[in-house]
Amino acid sequence: MQKLHISDADFAVKFDRIVRARRESDAGVEGQVRDILHEVKARGDGAVVDYSMRFDGYALTDNSDWIITKEECAEAFQDCAPELRAALELAATRIRAYHTDQLPANRDFTDDAGVRQGAIWRPVDAAGLYVPGGRAAYPSSLLMNAIPARVAGVERLVVVTPTPKGKVNSLVLAAAHLAGVDEIWRIGGAQAVAAMAYGTEKIAAVDVITGPGNAYVAEAKRQLYGVVGIDMVAGPSEILVIADKDNDPEWIASDLLSQAEHDPSAQSILITDDKAFAAIVEDCVNVQAAQLATSKAAQASWEDHGVIILVDEISQATALANDLAAEHVELAVAEPEPFLQSIRHAGSVFLGRLTPEAIGDYVAGPNHVLPTGRRARFASGLSVLDFMKRTSFIELDEAALKAIGPAAAELAYAEGLPAHAHSVERRLKK
């Protein structure tokens, strides 16, 4: 775990190293994924069968081995403990409400030249959702991916989820029932992403693929972008907590560990203006981490990637936050609003001492699928727009063509494209 002080002579060098560090897949993964994609494209179901046995120890021998039925999902939902079922329903309701408010409006207007123009938003026909089934099997992620797709109007929702040695996560099935998923296939890894992108004998191709996964899944999505749309290439989770000394150190330690427990490659960073407070938080992290069921991942993450940064004034934290462009940013300060206005790059921001990032993972409403690895500089979290596309339209009458057509022809000639110009001028002559 690294400790930095903003006044240290070598702070800029050390901080830049943290900013630039990559905690994602190596070149070896890229090559392996390329081979898997090639095999699935060439051999379809046969390749998926081979890889499922090789990586998941699961045999896809007949149709019942491939598919999880809607009836199984409904049964899993009914079998949930009442309080857990209520929690899933609350999460789904809030996620649906937030994303419904994101729906874009169509445009249709006529400008001063008499040109009618605008745009129509339409959903994609089919969306594929990847749901992890190994270390990270999260029903919350299924809700966060499937509900925006449904809100967007996607007609066919396809889920792929690995079932290692045949083991199924019942909560994922319950969430699939609640979200109204159409198909669930018991496959995972890069081969599942390829099957959804290219289509196989059994699985019809989709238009967009979203959802988190391991390094192989992320790399498969990256290589297949263009064949299908994707949400983003996501890396290990990360959290930046900006906290002054007036916080409960136990709370802040728990917040840091809430991301560290995801994966040994996850990163938790604390920025504070109080050295004594930082020391107490560090002690709390070590004590709490040892008591977690997820202690192995949490401790490895904190020891290898954890960072505590001391600043002279807490206001200095916003400039550092913009350089880090973290997935999650907690503002555990008395007046978070000025910080929010100053932070330009973040996946999602959590305001005040009573807003832990974990609330955003489950029931707040905004999507928890967020850009990592400094991609918040140019990317946003998952939304209904990831499942929609915009088609523009233009309509001219004779007066409108006379008003703007000559300029179009002039520009076409300037670009050396006379046929473009002729297609306008012939109409003008008429």
Q: Compute CA distances 210 → 122, 159, 225, 386, whole Å.
A: 18, 10, 11, 9
**Residue for token digits 């081995």?**
65
Which is the catalytic residue, given 39, 282, 327, 357?
327
pLDDT number for residue 18: 95
Percent of the chain residues topping a pLDDT of 90: 91
* 197 in Cβ contact with 205 (< 8 Å): yes
Q: pTM of the predicted model, to two decimals? A: 0.93
The answer on pLDDT for 112 being more than 70 is yes
Backbone angles phi, psi at 86, to 5 degrees: -65, -35
pLDDT number for residue 135: 54
The region, left, alpha or beta by phi > 0 then psi within -120 to 50, assigned to residue 58 is: beta
Q: Quick one: average pLDDT of 212-226? A: 93
pLDDT of 330-347, one tens digit each? 999 999 999 999 999 999
Better-predicted residue by pLDDT, 423 or 61: 423
Sequence-distant (6+) residues with CB within 8 A of 49 are: 59, 60
Evaluate the CA torsion angle 98, 353, 378, 144 in order and state its sign.
negative
How many Cα atoms are found within 13 Å in the side-chain-facing hemisphere of 204?
Answer: 9
Among candidates 403, 239, 241, which has minimal Cα distance to 328? 239
Pairing mode, if any, of strands 107-110 and 183-185? unpaired
pLDDT of 254-298, one tens digit each? 999 999 999 899 999 999 999 999 999 999 999 999 999 999 999
The answer on pLDDT for 22 being more than 80 is no
State which amino acid sits at residue 357.
Answer: E
**Per-residue pLDDT band at 134 (split at 50, 70, 90):** low
Among candidates 23, 21, 29, which has minimal Cα distance to 217? 29
3-class SS string, the chain: CEEEECCCCCHHHHHHHHHHCCCCCCHHHHHHHHHHHHHHHHHCHHHHHHHHHHHHCCCCCCHHHHEECHHHHHHHHHHCCHHHHHHHHHHHHHHHHHHHCCCCCCEEEECCCCCEEEEEEEECCEEEEECCCCCCCCHHHHHHHHHHHHHHCCCEEEEECCCHHHCCCHHHHHHHHHHCCCEEECCCHHHHHHHHHHCCCCCCCCCEEECCCCHHHHHHHHHHECCEEECCCCCCCEEEEEECCCCCHHHHHHHHHHHHCCCCCCEEEEEECCHHHHHHHHHHHHHHHHHCCCHHHHHHHHHHHCEEEECCCHHHHHHHHHHHCCCEEEEECCCCHHHHHHCCCCCEEEECCCCCHHHHHHCCCCCCCCCCCCHHHCCCCCCHHHHEEEEEEEECCHHHHHHHHHHHHHHHHHCCCHHHHHHHHHHHHC
Sequence-distant (6+) residues with CB within 8 A of 406 are: 424, 428
pLDDT of 165-200, one tens digit each? 888 889 999 999 999 999 999 999 999 999 999 999
Q: Give all domains of the chain, ordered by start, each with its CATH number.
A: 2-24+235-364 (3.40.50.1980), 27-230 (3.40.50.1980), 396-429 (1.20.5.1300)
pLDDT number for residue 150: 97
**Per-residue pLDDT band at 138 (split at 50, 70, 90):** confident
pLDDT number for residue 133: 78
Among candidates 390, 386, 392, 391, which has minimal Cα distance to 151? 386
Which is the catalytic residue, given 177, 305, 328, 345?
328
pLDDT of 296-332, one tens digit each? 999 999 999 999 999 999 999 999 999 999 999 999 9
**Radius of gyration over alpha carbons of the chain, in Å?**
25
The answer on pLDDT for 137 being more than 80 is no
**Per-residue pLDDT band at 365 (split at 50, 70, 90):** very high
pLDDT number for residue 226: 96
Q: Quick one: average pLDDT of 55-78? A: 93
Q: Quick one: average pLDDT of 2-22? A: 94
Active site (annotated) includes residue 328:
yes
Sequence-distant (6+) residues with CB within 8 A of 182 are: 156, 157, 158
pLDDT number for residue 214: 86
pLDDT number for residue 136: 60
Active site (annotated) includes residue 357:
no
Burial class of residue 330, CB neighbours in 10 A (0-12, 13-18, 19+): buried
